[in-house]
Copies of this chain bind each other. A is one copy, B any other.
Amino acid sequence: MSEILFDRIALIGIGLIGSSIARDIQKLGLAREVVISTRSAETLKRAEELELGTAYTTSAADAVKDADLIIVSVPVGASEAVARQIAPHLKAGAIVTDVGSTKASVIAQMAPHMPENVHFIPGHPLAGTEKSGPDAGFSGLFKGRWCIFTPLPGTDRVALDRLSIFWKALGSMIDEMDPQHHDKVLAIVSHLPHIIAYNIVGTADDLEAVTESEVIKYSASGFRDFTRLAASDPTMWRDVCLHNKDAILEMLARFSEDLAYLQRAIRWGEGDKLFELFSRTRTIRRSIVQAGQDVDMPDFGRHTLDK
C-alpha cells in the first residue's frame, strides 16, 4: 500500500480515464475521500454501482468543495464549462489538473477562470484504450505510460512535485513540455493516426465493389489494426480535431504530400522508391519495441491470446 497523498480528490468526469484513476486511487489508498462528479445521472449511477468513489454528485461545483486535488477528465471541448462551474468553489491551495489530449486549447479555456490561489497544472496521461465509459476503466492503465505536464510560467514547483508523485504512484513516467510543442507531438503520434484510421474505415464502409461483410471477413489481413483506433470515443475525438486544428492540419498536409509521392511511385512502377520507404519504416518499429513502448511479439501477440 502507498501512503495517502491527498485528503480529498474530486474526479470531474468518470469515463475510461476518470474511472481508471478512481480504481488506482482506491487500490493504492492514495486518498481518504474521492468525490465523483459527472453531468449524466445515468453514468453517475453506474459509477456508484461500481463503487468507484466515496461520494457522488452531478454538480461539479459541489464536488470540488474542500478538494485538495481536482482531476478534470472530460472531452476537451467541455473544459471551459467545467472551469466556469468549479472556479468559484475551489479551496485555496488546491491543485487543479486535467487529462486532455490537447493542451493549448485546454489552457486557453480553463486558465482565465482559475483563481490566483489555486495551482492549475495542465496534464496529459498518454494512456487509454478504444473503449469508453466507467465500465471500461481498469487499475493499471497508466503503468509504464508517460504523463506529460505543460505547466504555465510561474507554476509552483511544490504543487507540481505533489502532482508528479501522484502520477508516479499510478505507475506513470513524468515529462514536461510547453503546450504548443505537446500539441505538435501529439498531432503526429496520436491525432493523425486516429484520423487516418477513422478515414480508412469510413472509405471501406462506403465501397460498392466490396461488401461490408467481405471487409469484416477478411479484415485480419491488415484492416483490423485500424479498426481499433477507429472504435475510439467519437465525442472525445471530435473535440480533439476541433481543439488542435492547426497542428492536425499541418500533419495532414504533410501526410497527403507524402501519400501523393507514394501514389505516383506506384503509378509509374518505381519499385526502388517503394522499397526505400518500406525498409526505412521497419527500423522505427524495432526502436519502439526496444523502448518498451509495445509488446515484443509478432502481430501484437494476438496468436498467443488466440490459443
User: Which residues of A are interface residues toward B (Cβ below 8 A)?
Assistant: 77, 126-131, 136, 138, 140-141, 143-146, 148, 181, 184-186, 188-207, 209-210, 212, 214-232, 234-235, 237-239, 241-242, 245, 248-249, 251-252, 254-256, 258-259, 262-263, 265-267, 269, 271, 274-275, 277-282, 284-288, 291, 293-295, 297-307
Inter-chain contact A285/B126, CB cutoff 8 Å: no
Closest-by-CB residue of B relative to A235 is B275
Q: B residues within 8 A CB of A195?
A: 262, 266
Inter-chain contact B293/A216, CB cutoff 8 Å: yes
A300-B216 Cα distance, complex, nearest whole Å: 16
A286-B227 Cα distance, complex, nearest whole Å: 9
Inter-chain contact A294/B219, CB cutoff 8 Å: yes
Closest-by-CB residue of B relative to A138 is B303
Known contacts A282-B230, A295-B306; A254/B207 CB under 8 A: yes
Q: B residues within 8 A CB of A287?
A: 212, 216
Nearest Cβ in chain B — how far from A231, in angstroms? 4
Q: B residues within 8 A CB of A206?
A: 254, 258
Q: How many identical subunits does the complex contain? A: 2
9 more CB-based (< 8 A) A-B contacts, given A130-B285, A202-B262: A77-B271, A185-B218, A194-B222, A216-B291, A224-B288, A224-B293, A230-B281, A295-B302, A297-B305
**For the complex of A and B, 5 pairs with smallest distance between CB atoms:** A129-B298, A231-B285, A234-B278, A190-B221, A193-B222
13 contacting pairs across A/B (C-beta < 8 A): A146-B220, A189-B219, A195-B262, A196-B259, A198-B262, A199-B259, A199-B262, A200-B255, A201-B281, A228-B294, A231-B282, A249-B266, A297-B305
Known contacts A218-B189, A219-B293, A222-B193; A238/B203 CB under 8 A: no
Closest-by-CB residue of B relative to A285 is B231
Interface centre among A205, A251, A295, by most chain B C-beta atoms within 10 angstroms, is: A295
Contact of A200 among B196, B234, B266, B306 (CB under 8 A): B196
Nearest Cβ in chain B — how far from A305, in angstroms? 5
Q: B residues within 8 A CB of A224?
A: 288, 293-294
Nearest Cβ in chain B — how far from A115, in angstroms? 30
Known contacts A218-B126, A222-B229, A230-B285; A280/B202 CB under 8 A: yes
